[in-house]
Amino acid sequence: MKHMPIFVISLKESIERRKYIEDVLPDKGIKFEFFDAVNGKDQFSSLLKKYDLTKRLWLTSGKMPSKGEAGCYASHYQLWEKCIELDTPIIIMEDDVNVCENAQKTINIVAEKIEEYGYLRLENVIRGELLAVEQGPEHCITKMYDNFGGAQAYALSPSAAKKLVKNSRKWSVPVDNYLGEFYFHGVEAYHLTPQLVIDKGNFETTVQIGPRTYTPIYRKPSRELYTLYRKVKRFLHNKYFKKKMKK
C-alpha cells in the first residue's frame, strides 16, 4: 500500500509533547514528520495578518483572536498548501492526542478511502447527527451534520485541500470551526470508525494564550444574527444531502 504522509503539528519548543509523539507513533509502526507550528507570537508572519477583523469582531466571535488561535490556523493552512504541493493525500495531527491501539489499521483504511471522500475526521464526534454512508466489515464512514471541534486529527485529499485554501483567503473563526463549515467551503464532513485518536493527551493547551476576553454587548446582536444564518445554511445543506442519499 502506498505510504501516506503523516504530519504532526508541534511548536519547536514543545519538547515534552514531541518526546511523547516520538515514543508513541514509532512504537505502533507509524512513520511521521513533525511540522513546525507557526507561533502566534511571531509578529513577522504574513499568515497571521489574514484575519478579517471586521467580520471577526461584528459577525463571528465578537473579540480579537488570541495569538495561539492565529498560530494554530496558520499551521493548518500551511499543511493544506503542503497537501496541494505534494499532490497526495495526507494525515494531519496535533501533538496532544491519545493515539488508538489500532492506529496502523485505521491509517490503511484512510489510504484506501480518502480520495473518494476528500476529508475524514479521525477523532471523536462531539455533537451532531450522523448518517452512515458506507459500512464495511472492519470500518464505518458516516456523514456528520455538525463537524464541531475537529482539528486534532484528520485526513485530507489534494482536491479537498484546494477547496479549503480557496475559501480561506480571509479568516474570521478558529480553524476547527472553519473545517466544520462544509456548507460554505464545499468539503463534506465524514467520520471514520475505527478512529486514529481519542480525546486529548495529558498536556496543558498551548493554543489559547493570554487572558480571557469577552464579547462587548453592542456586538452581540449582529453576531447572533450571523450565527442564526450559519445554522440555517447548515440545516438546508444537510437536508439537501440527505435527500440526495435517498435517491
Domain boundaries, the chain: 6-246
Per-residue pLDDT reduced to its tens digit, 125-181: 988 889 999 999 999 999 999 998 889 999 999 999 999 999 988 899 999 999 999
* Residue 80 identity: W
3-state secondary structure of 15: helix
C-alpha to C-alpha distance for 135 and 145, rounded to whole angstroms = 18
| pTM confidence score | 0.91
- Give pLDDT, residue 66: 86
pLDDT score of 207: 45
Strand, coil or helix: what is 36? strand
Instruction: Write 52-55 long-range contacts (CB < 8 A, 24+).
Output: 52/170, 52/171, 52/172, 55/170, 55/172
- The percent of residues above 70 in pLDDT, for the chain, comes to 92
pLDDT of residue 76: 96
In the three-class reduction of DSSP (H, G, I as helix; E, B as strand; rest coil), residue 39 is classed as coil
Query: Hunting for cell 508572519 — which residue is that?
Result: 45
CA nearest to 146, candidates 111, 176, 110, 103: 176
Give me 102's grid cell: 489500532
Predicted local distance difference test score (pLDDT) of residue 212: 67
pLDDT at position 83, please? 98
Ordered alpha helix ranges (H), 87-181: 103-117, 158-166, 175-179
| All cell numbers assigned to 147 | 463537524
Instruction: Report the DSSP pairing between strands 140-144 and 190-193.
Output: antiparallel
For the domain made up of 6-246, the CATH class stated in words is alpha beta
Mean pLDDT by 10 residues, the chain (247 residues): 87 93 93 93 76 92 88 95 98 94 94 97 91 94 92 97 93 94 95 89 50 82 95 95 84
